Amino acid sequence: MVVPGTLEVNSSADIELGDNKSNRGDALGNTVDMDKVRSWVDRAERVVVLTGAGISTESGIPDFRGPQGVWTKNPSAEKLSDIHHYMTDPEVRKESWKARLGHPAWNAKPNAGHLALAALERRGKLHALITQNIDELHQMAGNSPDKVFEVHGTMRKVVCMACGMTAPMQKALDRVQAGEEDPPCRDCGGILKSATISFGQALVPELIERAMRAAAEADLFFAVGTSLRVYPIAGAVELANAADARIVILNAEPTPFDEIAHAVFRGPIGATLPQLLRP
Ligand code: NAD
């Protein structure tokens, strides 16, 4: 059983950074106190963090696949995230604009988890912060934009699917509020969409490449609030592991990478991450 705030860890927990690989045991279920992980952070030079929707749930933004997730509660909502449905069905677009208008992200503030990652950057430890999130709460918490790799884009901008024009989301939301159910691009009349990567849309190859390169340079890697089921991003864990980085996973539910991780924490991220990253 995993007690919130404690962890499962493999038996390599006691060895030094750098020679972890050959000592990895399979004795998951050992516990180690948070001091051990803090000592890894103290000695690490290039910490890479991968975040998912789970880091923002305590800011009031639901995830997709967790027990309270948007898709878990309403599987048909997945349609709104599919580019094919979005481009071909005006009703899906109208629903999407309504969902954007009422999105909890507009009132959300960074929580203790986000703030802990900003503090990690101030300590000079953060090599890269790869996020699947589209809410920009990492930047609002104080992480510098050049450290944050937004591999799924941002919901705070719109993009025209025809001419590529980008603009602040708020301008489009103002038009929706004023009665336009599916506001077209003012430049060319094309379909507007949030500047996020929907299912069926290609990721930005250069960005993914840079994120993956950063993961391969990590000496300590945290995966935080992500189910690690979506590739190629989940592959960042594999790359860090292949580079002999220590792997720490914070997620309420099991992930496919728990067995290769040096430590797995199940407790709430907002309480756990600040304790692990405290100097
Ligand atoms: P996911 O929904 O697949 O998984 C989130 C995981 O976080 C779940 O396993 C859940 O158990 C865990 N979790 C939730 N709250 C937690 C907490 N407080 N403490 C510990 N664990 C917690 O998320 P994903 O893997 O990031 O994939 C969903 C995709 O949808 C993302 O790639 C992203 O593009 C998009 N999305 C983004 C946001 C956002 O920007 N905040 C929100 C929802 C979805």
pLDDT by residue (tens digit) across 139-196? 999 999 999 999 999 999 999 999 999 999 999 999 999 999 999 999 999 999 999 9
Q: Is the CB of 224 under 6 A from ligand 1?
A: no
Q: Give the separation between CA 108 and CA 106, rounded to whole angstroms.
A: 6
163 CA from centroid of ligand 1 (Å): 31
CATH classification code of 64-102+154-196: 3.30.1600.10
15 CA from centroid of ligand 1 (Å): 31
pLDDT value of residue 76: 74
pLDDT of 23 over the 50 cut: no
Q: Give the separation between CA 135 and CA 120, rounded to whole angstroms.
A: 20
Fold adopted by 1-61+111-152+203-279: Rossmann fold (3.40.50)
Tokens, residue 49 = 């963090």
What pTM does this model have? 0.89
6, 19, 32, 128 from 35: Cα distances, Å? 11, 19, 8, 23
Q: Is the CB of 251 under 6 A from ligand 1?
A: yes
Closest residue by CA, ligand 1 atom 32: 132
pLDDT value of residue 3: 35
Does the active-site annotation cover 152? yes
Nearest to 246 by CA among 263, 269, 224, 265: 263
- Confidence band for 33, pLDDT divided at 50, 70 and 90: confident
Calculate mean pLDDT across residues 254-265.
94
Q: Is the CB of 78 under 6 A from ligand 1?
A: no
pLDDT value of residue 144: 98
- The percentage of the chain sitting over the pLDDT mark of 70, rounded to a whole number, equals 89
pLDDT of 28 over the 80 cut: no
Calculate mean pLDDT across residues 82-103.
95
Instruction: Tell which atom from ligand 1 comes closest to the C-alpha of 270.
Output: 18
**Do residues 120 and 47 touch, judged by C-beta distance below 8 A?**
yes
Q: Is the CB of 66 under 6 A from ligand 1?
A: yes
What are the structural domain ranges in the chain? 1-61+111-152+203-279, 64-102+154-196
Q: Which residue has the higher pLDDT, 14 or 156?
A: 156
pLDDT value of residue 12: 37
Calculate mean pLDDT across residues 82-107.
96
Q: Check the CA dihedral 73-75-78-80 and report its sign.
A: negative
- Confidence band for 67, pLDDT divided at 50, 70 and 90: confident
pLDDT of 10 over the 90 cut: no
pLDDT of 15 over the 60 cut: no
pLDDT tens readout for residues 242-251? 999 999 999 9
Using the CB atoms, write b or e for 66-95: b if 16+ within 10 Å: beebbbeeeeeeebbbbeebbeeeeebbeb
Q: Tokens 């990590």 label which residue?
A: 218
